[in-house]
Chains A and B, each alone.
Chain A
Amino acid sequence: MTEKLRFRNPEMAKHVAEKIKAIAPKEENVKICHVCGTHEWTITHFGIRSLLPNNVEVIAGPGCPVCIVPASEIDEAIQLTSKDVTVTCFGDVLRVPGSATSLLDAKAEGADVRVVYSVADAVRMAKEEPRRDFAFFAVGFETTSPSTAVEILAKPPKNLCFLVSHHLIPPAMKLLVEMEDLDLNGFIAPGHASTIIGLKPYEVFVKQYGMPTVVAGFEPLDVLFGIYMILKQMHAHEPRLENEYVRAVRWEGNVRAQEVMHRIFDVVDGNWRGLGLIPSSKFTLKKEFAAYDAHRKHGVKVEHGVDIHYGCRCHLVVVGKIKPTECPLFLKACTPHKPIGACMVSSEGTCRIWARTANIDPDASN
C-alpha cells in the first residue's frame, strides 16, 4: 500500500501537470491514444483529462478485449451450449451481445454457462465432471493468452476444448495509426500486455510512422508521466520508444510466456467487432492441438454476425472517434443495466467506465 501511495502523490501530480502545460504545443491540437481499458479507468477515475491543456486530448482505442470479440464468436459459444456443451467464460463476456442474444440470455433459457476466474477453473471443472463436455471461451489480449497456452501445453482432459478469441494489440495499433481521419500524435502503449510482449513490437510505430510511443503503468502518476514523455518527444521532434513502466516491463518481455504462446498458437487474420478484419491480429490453435479446437470438435462455425445493432456507435467509440457522451444511446437506451453495445458491457469498456464515473453503475465497486 505504501508503494501505491507514493505512486499517487497529489503534489507530484500537480507538478507534472504544470510541466505538461509548459511543454505542450500552444497552437496545434495533440491527440494521444491509449489502448487499454485499465488506462481508461485510471484516466477517468482520477480526472486526468481535467489536468491537461484544452488542446491535449487523450482518446481510448480498442483496449477492451471483451468489447472487440465479434458477435459471430458469441454466436458460436451459444451454439456450443445448444450442443449440450458447458461453456466456461470470464464474467465480463457473459452479457456481450451476439447477433441476437448473449450468453447470459442463453443461460437464462437453461444453457449451462459458468463464469470462471481463470482457465484453471475450467480445467478443474472438466476433471471433476469427466462425462460432461466443456469449452473454455478464451478471450483476452497478450496478457491473458499465455495462461490459456500453459493449460493446453499441460494437456488438459479430453472433455475440455477451447473457443480461442485471443487478439493481438500491436496490429490494432497499426490500424489506428493508419486511419488518416484519426490523426494521432502519440501512443500510450498498454503496460500489462507489454509485460508479456516487451517493447520490440512497438518499434514499427516510431520507425515507420514517427509516432512517439511510451509504455506506461496504471497509477495516475504513471499515466501523467507517460503523457509528459510523449509531449517532450514531440517538443524535441524526436519520436522514440520509451518505457515508463520499468518496474514491470522489460525490453524483451516475458520470454517464457512468448515461447509457450508460440508453441500453441499460430497468428492469423482476425475479426474485431466494429473494426473488421485486421491482418495477423489473432491467435488460433496450431494444427497439432486441433483436437482441442471447439470449432472442429463440435462442428460450430458462424461466418458473419451482427456486430453493431441499430443506433449503436460502439464502432466509433472503440477507436476513439467519438466519446461515449456523443452516442445518442449513451445512458438513455444503453445503460449498464441494459447494455446495447459491447462497450457498455465489460468493466473495461469505455462506455461502461464513463457510466461508472457518472455514478450510475450498480456494479461499481470503486
Chain B
Amino acid sequence: MLMNMCLAIPAKIMSVKADTAQVDFGEGVLREVNVALVKVNVGDYVLVHAGYAIQVLDEKEALETLRLWNDILNVQTDEK
C-alpha cells in the first residue's frame, strides 16, 4: 500500500461522535476518520491525511479563490 505523505484529501463529514467522524470522500462509501485536531460539524468539508482530519475547508474561500483567479486573468495590467 502506498500513500502520499503530504497529500490530504477532502471529505464531507456525515456524522460525528466524540473524536471520530464518518466521512464521505465523494465515492459514496463512509469511512471513519479521527477529528481530534479540528472543530467540525456535520456537513463540513475537511482535509484528511493518514486517517486524521487536519483542517476544515472553507467553501467561501474556495469560491473566493476562483473569483480571484478570474480577476487576475481578466484585469489587463501594465506588466507588459
Residues of chain A having any CB pair with chain B under 8 Å: 1, 3, 6-7, 12, 15-16, 19, 22-23, 36-38, 41, 63-66, 90-92, 115, 117-121, 139-141, 143-144, 146-147, 150, 154, 190, 192-193, 195-196, 218, 221, 225, 228, 232, 235, 244, 246-250, 254, 256-257, 260, 346-348, 363, 365
Contact = CB atoms under 8 A, between A and B. Distances in A.
Interface centre among A3, A64, A193 (most CB of B within 10 A): A3
Interface string B44-75: 00010111101101110110111001001100
A148 to B, nearest CB: 10
B38 A16 contact: no
B7 A218 contact: yes
A101 to B, nearest CB: 20
A41 B50 contact: no
B79 A235 contact: yes
A16 B66 CA distance: 13
A143 B49 contact: yes
Interface SS of chain B: helix, strand, loop or mixed? loop
Contacts of B58: 246-248
Nearest to A221: B69
A118 B37 contact: no
B37 A1 contact: no
Contact of B5 (A23, A139, A195): A139
A232 B80 CA distance: 11
Nearest to B48: A118
B62 A3 contact: yes
Contact of A64 (B3, B5, B50, B66): B5
Interface of B: 1-8, 26, 34, 36-39, 47, 49-52, 54-55, 57-59, 61-62, 64-66, 69, 72-73, 79-80
Nearest to B59: A247
A192 B37 contact: no
A118 B47 contact: no
B6 A193 contact: yes
Contacts of A250: 55
Given A1-B26, A23-B79, A254 B55 contact: yes
Contacts of A22: 79-80
Given A65-B6, A150-B37, A221-B69, A195 B1 contact: no
A147 B7 contact: no
Contacts of B7: 38, 192, 218
B73 A247 contact: no
Given A119-B51, A147-B37, A235-B79, 11 more contacts: A1-B26, A37-B5, A117-B51, A118-B34, A118-B51, A139-B5, A144-B5, A147-B50, A154-B36, A192-B8, A195-B8
29 contacts: A6-B66, A12-B73, A16-B69, A22-B79, A36-B6, A37-B6, A38-B4, A115-B1, A117-B51, A139-B5, A140-B6, A143-B54, A144-B5, A146-B52, A147-B49, A147-B50, A150-B36, A192-B54, A196-B55, A221-B69, A235-B79, A246-B61, A246-B65, A247-B57, A248-B55, A249-B55, A256-B37, A260-B37, A365-B2
